Amino acid sequence: MKAIQLHRDLTRIWEGEPGWRGVLTSVSHTDLGKRFIIAAAVFFGIGGVLAMLIRAQLATPESAFAGPEVYGQIFTMHGSIMMFLFAIPMLEGLAIYLLPKILGARDLAYPRLTALGWWCYLFGGSIMILALLGGVAPDAGWFLYPPLSGKEFTPGVNSDVWLLGITFVEISAMCAAIEIVVTILKFRAANMSLTRMPIMAWYLLATAGMMIFGFPPLILGSILLELERAFGWPFFQPELGGSPLLWQHLFWLFGHPEVYIIFLPAAGALSTIIPVMARTPLIGYGAIVTAVMALAFLSFGLWVHHMFTTGIPHMALGFFSAASVLVAIPTAVQIFAWIGTIWAGRPKFTLPMYYIVGFFIVFVLGGLTGVMLAIVPFDQQAHDTAFVTAHLHYVLVGGFVFPMLAAAYYWMPHATGRTRVMRLGIAAFWLILIGFNLTFLHMHLTGLLGMPRRMYTYPAEAGWTWLNLISSVGSFMQAFGFGLFAIDIALQRRVGNRSRRDPWNAETLEWAMPTPPPQYNFASLPTVDCREPLTRDRLLGAGLAAGRGLLGRTIGHRRETLAVDMVTGAPEHVAILPGPSIVPFQTALVIGGFFLSMLLSLYWLAPVFILGTAVMVWRWTATTGTTKDDGPVDTGQGDQLPTSFAVRGSVGYWGSVLAIAASATLFASLVFGHFFLWVVAPNWPPPGDFGAYFLEPALVTAGSLLALAAARIGARDFARSRNGAMISACSLALAVAGLLIGAIRHLPGPGEHSFAAVGWTLTSYAVFSAIVGLLAQIFITRRIASGHTTSDRPHELRIAAVWSDYGAAVALAVAWILSLSSASL
């Protein structure tokens, strides 16, 4: 009886609002995760149709099917959709759906942020697709190299669609990344120390960490290129001191980690599924975790291998070549750990296992050609040919699509509570595997025979006719395979038989809940003492449902989950999560308004939406927290824990730290750009006289230091914190004034030279960061006045201090970088 009552209470607390309003206000990770996955699958379908158009065009020489203009849009959109609208959101969806469940939590760290990410993804993706339908889709290749993508050579809106649409979608990636890291570090089952985490959590931790540092360079690059296109700031124009290579560096600083960002979650799925199917624990857990971390680290040191033909000195290329082949080692560790696991166990030939075998075949070949392409002299021959096209499809389809298909069949019974119906999945597997190899295996040869990428047609004399025709036939075979897969999944969803809970005899906590999962995941939260809690105790799920875990009781209408110590997993506090909210949807709409006004060149309207976004963020934060002090709460097992309002290290604090880390990466990329142009670009130094100036930097220094000191004093003594926040905000205003006066008095107009353009961008960034810090401090004074922030609930003080400290530090750095640069020009 108690269990049923508990279930009713939790359902009342966790369920979303009914009807259409519920669709807009849902913050449930299960709903949003499924939406991400379904939308990503739809975009995969659209990208797949574009791929079929490419293959139809290339099937015969001198084909009249599509002209070069249309073909340019098709291949650009195929790449962009598959990368940004399929692969990344698919892995986000998988993480969003799965993460709290495998960690033993009830939701992610920031449910409303999940919703914001979803709407940004949906709106940004829709802009791209609408542009495609309208015939104004991006057409300069998915890596959008300037000057081709610049205003002069792409005067239409095409490149803007990419820059703005993708940046919009990127917001969702950044939200997801921060959320995944904090969730893994804080929202785990009691006593789940780092070493007891399911291996998937390690993979997602590495992935999200890479996203936090990998995406900002691309976002910066997009901002710079959009500034150049919209306002003529010459970052990439050599005649005005810019360099097209700066874009390539920024793009591939993102672009290479991106490959591992896509691969790692898929590898995590494999590391989860293979031991279950082999009926034995994964061998080399520690080695795999080390390999994953090494991969995450190394992947940032090899972006130049996309630039082996740009004229960089050979010895420097040798370094990046070595780093590139080095990543083969952690990958090999994982491959052999998986094979070793299968060897040690008794493999079951289930449907996921078919796709896993497909993964091995395709991915190993892709990895080997990857090593070949990491070799400088060979890459200089194969670069930008069909060989690379073949290689990247082997890696991405092998390393992502096949594991995702396996994962789909593995977790479908979890999401639907049903088993598969027919053997369609096996037929689909053979069609996809054979079709894939028929498309891409000999495409390596096509490339070696000299066929460059991105040719809309080729002469019959070139001798690539048969090779291309076979590829086209294979690709359509593959398309039928994917179609069959989609039908199979739809059938399973509709008419599959009810499956029992945990049909695979799995090891991880997501199977210790009813399927399909209730909105609250677990009626009570588990305590774990090993890595495979379900193997240890097959009845764990029933016990949890009966309320024999932690928090197996309800307090009012409060959404609760457990937050733990980051390392040991000891219970630390009870996190109280927000319920359904329309604010994320509205915020996404306002952000969308900004992107649309930029896209439609309504530049006067854009600041209105920036202001609107600030208002929305203020509203968002103002609705969190509490003014009531209800002290520590009972965990349901006799222990008392504080709530998240009363602790210093709340998830809000860690999220802020990570957001600042991402912002600092963007800043570092911009500073890199400044010095890169200075050293590498032609037409330097800029014309005109640049003298040293110290007055304005001194002003900024005074403001920044004062802001830092005031925030320190406020944090130490609550009685002084309101005044401290006020002083801090005023000092930041002083710093902003110093920055602006310095730029106006000493920098030339941003359109004149890349030095001035970068200088104005640096100044704008510093002003932006300082204003964010300033607003955070003003916000705190309001929160103290309203009674949300007290000496017992001080965590918002800490959060505001992080933001204002960062604003002050950036203002200080930028003021001196610009002053000293001017002095030495």
Q: Which of residues 337-356 bind other proteins (CB under 8 A)?
A: 337, 339-347
> Considering beta carbons, is residue 328 or 820 the nearer one to other proteins?
328
Residues 38-97 that bind other proteins (CB under 8 A): 67-69, 72
Distances in Å between the Cα of 368 and the Cα atoms of 297, 372, 382, 697 are: 21, 6, 14, 53
Q: How far is the CB of 383 from other proteins (least distance, A)?
A: 6
> Considering beta carbons, is residue 368 or 611 the nearer one to other proteins?
368
> Considering beta carbons, is residue 41 or 333 the nearer one to other proteins?
333
How far apart are alpha carbons 376 and 311 in whole angstroms? 12
Q: How far is the CB of 374 from other proteins (least distance, A)?
A: 9
Q: Following CA atoms 758, 594, 812, 772 in sequence, which dihedral angle do they give, to the nearest 10 degrees? A: -170
How far apart are alpha carbons 578 and 355 in whole angstroms? 39
Q: Counting Cβ atoms within 10 Å, is residue 691 exposed (0-12), middle (13-18) or buried (19+)? A: exposed
Nearest to 193 by CA among 529, 595, 676, 491: 529
Q: How far is the CB of 174 from other proteins (least distance, A)?
A: 29
> Considering beta carbons, is residue 319 or 603 the nearer one to other proteins?
319
Q: Does residue 361 bind other proteins (CB under 8 A)?
A: yes
- Structure tokens of 574? 């009870």
> Considering beta carbons, is residue 14 or 456 the nearer one to other proteins?
456
Residues 6 or more apart in contact with residue 677 via CB below 8 angstroms: 235, 241, 242, 243, 246, 684, 754, 755, 758
Bridge-based pairing of strands 571-577 and 633-634 is unpaired
Residues 141-180 that bind other proteins (CB under 8 A): 141, 145, 147-148, 152-153
Q: Mask of contacts with other proteins, 221-260, x by CB under 8 A?
A: -----------------xx---xxx---------------
Which one of 376, 401, 651, 660 is in contact with other proteins (CB under 8 A)?
Answer: 376
Which one of 467, 540, 774, 818 is in contact with other proteins (CB under 8 A)?
Answer: 467
Bridge-based pairing of strands 640-641 and 633-634 is antiparallel
Q: Does residue 682 bind other proteins (CB under 8 A)?
A: yes
- Structure tokens of 222? 């997009």
> Considering beta carbons, is residue 33 or 79 the nearer one to other proteins?
79
> Considering beta carbons, is residue 103 or 273 the nearer one to other proteins?
273
> Considering beta carbons, is residue 463 or 612 the nearer one to other proteins?
463
Q: Does residue 746 bind other proteins (CB under 8 A)?
A: no
Which one of 24, 364, 671, 733 is in contact with other proteins (CB under 8 A)?
Answer: 364
Q: Which amino acid is at 95?
A: A
> Considering beta carbons, is residue 204 or 353 the nearer one to other proteins?
353
- DSSP-derived 3-state class of residue 192: coil
Q: What share of the chain is helix, strand, coil (3-state, %, to 5)?
A: 70, 5, 25
Residues 382-401 that bind other proteins (CB under 8 A): 382-385
Q: Which residue has the tokens 């990329």?
A: 669
How far apart are alpha carbons 389 and 75 in whole angstroms? 12
Q: Does residue 11 bind other proteins (CB under 8 A)?
A: no
> Considering beta carbons, is residue 114 or 341 the nearer one to other proteins?
341
Q: How far is the CB of 666 from other proteins (least distance, A)?
A: 25
Distances in Å between the Cα of 28 and the Cα atoms of 336, 579, 580, 624, 633 are: 38, 9, 8, 17, 24
Q: Does residue 782 bind other proteins (CB under 8 A)?
A: no
Q: Is 139 in contact with 569 (CB distance < 8 Å)?
A: no
How far apart are alpha carbons 302 and 253 in whole angstroms? 8
How far apart are alpha carbons 344 and 347 in whole angstroms? 9
Q: Looking only at Cα atoms, what is the longest distance across the chain?
A: 84
Q: How far is the CB of 536 from other proteins (least distance, A)?
A: 13
Which one of 232, 301, 463, 579 is in contact with other proteins (CB under 8 A)?
Answer: 463
Q: Mask of contacts with other proteins, 421-460, x by CB under 8 A?
A: ------------------------x--xxxxxxxxxxx-x
Q: Is 27 in contact with 559 (CB distance < 8 Å)?
A: no
- Binding piece for other proteins, criterion CB under 8 A, among 212-220, 465-473, 655-663, 759-767: 465-473
Q: Is 189 in contact with 569 (CB distance < 8 Å)?
A: yes
Q: Which residues of 702-735 are buried (b: 16+ CB within 10 A; e: fewer)?
A: ebbebbbebbeebbeebeebbebbbbbbbbbebb
Q: How far is the CB of 260 from other proteins (least distance, A)?
A: 17
Q: How far is the CB of 700 from other proteins (least distance, A)?
A: 34
> Considering beta carbons, is residue 468 or 499 the nearer one to other proteins?
468
Residues 6 or more apart in contact with residue 352 via CB below 8 angstroms: 273, 277, 406, 407, 409, 410
> Considering beta carbons, is residue 152 or 630 the nearer one to other proteins?
152
Q: Does residue 378 bind other proteins (CB under 8 A)?
A: yes
How far apart are alpha carbons 102 and 686 in whole angstroms? 56
Residues 280-339 that bind other proteins (CB under 8 A): 280, 283-284, 287, 291, 309-311, 314, 317-318, 321-322, 325-326, 328-329, 332-337, 339
Q: Is 22 in contact with 575 (CB distance < 8 Å)?
A: no
Residues 628-667 that bind other proteins (CB under 8 A): none
Q: How far is the CB of 225 from other proteins (least distance, A)?
A: 14
Q: How far is the CB of 468 from other proteins (least distance, A)?
A: 11
∠ at Cα 146 (141, 148), nearest 5°?
65
Q: How far is the CB of 453 from other proteins (least distance, A)?
A: 7
> Considering beta carbons, is residue 449 or 617 the nearer one to other proteins?
449
Q: How far is the CB of 409 from other proteins (least distance, A)?
A: 18
> Considering beta carbons, is residue 353 or 477 the nearer one to other proteins?
353
- Binding piece for other proteins, criterion CB under 8 A, among 213-221, 421-429, 681-689, 795-803: 681-689
Nearest to 407 by CA among 339, 508, 291: 508
Q: Is 562 in contact with 105 (CB distance < 8 Å)?
A: yes
Q: How far is the CB of 125 from other proteins (least distance, A)?
A: 24
> Considering beta carbons, is residue 121 or 458 the nearer one to other proteins?
458
Q: Does residue 461 bind other proteins (CB under 8 A)?
A: yes
Q: How far is the CB of 276 from other proteins (least distance, A)?
A: 14
> Considering beta carbons, is residue 168 or 456 the nearer one to other proteins?
456
State the CB neighbour count (10 A cutoff) for residue 680: 12
